[in-house]
């Protein structure tokens, strides 16, 4: 499965806003509307649609916080959402693989961070299968932080 990542613009914003998790997943990932508002406030965030062909199947947002871990900063995969109707079809795995590659190429980073709401065990399991590990630390919102150590090329 080959997914594409397209920056969210005014042209495709409505498509992004229609994406939601499955019923019962509220609170596990911030709504797309909130993500886009945060991206407008801090231009370092990069919100992207996840596309299978031309069909939106998910949303992600990532960026680099330059002031963290001075002098290099931290790269964060901050949001990953597969729309409820597309879950269980391998999109999460394919999206995560593509996003890791994208972040490594774009930022030339050695580590990728993310945070996860306690109780989101399906996501935690997926991240762990890809090599993310819990750091034992929490972000300012109380979410557990995970880190991926990028293999050397």
DSSP tag of 152: P
- Catalytic pick among 91, 113, 127, 148: 127
Annotated catalytic residue 107 = no
pLDDT band at 69 (very low <50, low <70, confident <90, very high): low
End-to-end CA distance of the chain: 24
Q: Could you tell me the domains of the chain?
A: 4-109 (3.40.630.30)
Q: Is the pLDDT of residue 20 over 90?
A: no
pTM as predicted:
0.90
Strands (E), the chain: 4-7, 46-52, 55-65, 74-82, 111-116, 133-138, 144-149
Owner of token pair 């919100």:
47
Q: What tens digit of pLDDT does each residue of 87-145 get?
A: 999 999 999 999 999 999 999 999 999 999 988 888 999 999 999 999 999 988 889 99
Q: Is the pLDDT of residue 42 over 90?
A: no
User: Taking residues 63-79, what's their average pLDDT?
Assistant: 78
How many beta carbons lie within 10 A of that of residue 122, not counting itself? 12
- β-strand 111-116 against 74-82: which pairing, if any? parallel
Beta-bridged to residue 52, according to DSSP, are 55
């Amino acid at each position: 499965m080959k997914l594409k990542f397209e920056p969210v613009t005014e042209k495709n914003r409505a498509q992004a806003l229609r994406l939601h998790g499955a019923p019962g997943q509220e609170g596990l990932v911030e709504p797309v509307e909130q993500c886009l508002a945060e991206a407008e406030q801090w231009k370092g965030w990069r919100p992207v649609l996840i596309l299978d062909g031309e069909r939106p199947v998910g949303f992600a947002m990532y960026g680099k916080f330059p002031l963290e871990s001075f002098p290099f900063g931290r790269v964060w995969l901050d949001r990953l959402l597969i729309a409820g109707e597309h879950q269980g079809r391998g999109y999460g795995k394919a999206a995560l693989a593509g996003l890791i590659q994208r972040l490594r190429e774009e930022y030339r980073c050695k580590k990728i961070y993310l945070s996860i709401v306690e109780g989101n065990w399906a996501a935690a399991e997926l991240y762990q299968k890809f090599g993310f590990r819990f750091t034992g630390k929490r972000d300012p919102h109380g979410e557990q932080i995970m880190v991926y150590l990028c293999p050397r090329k």
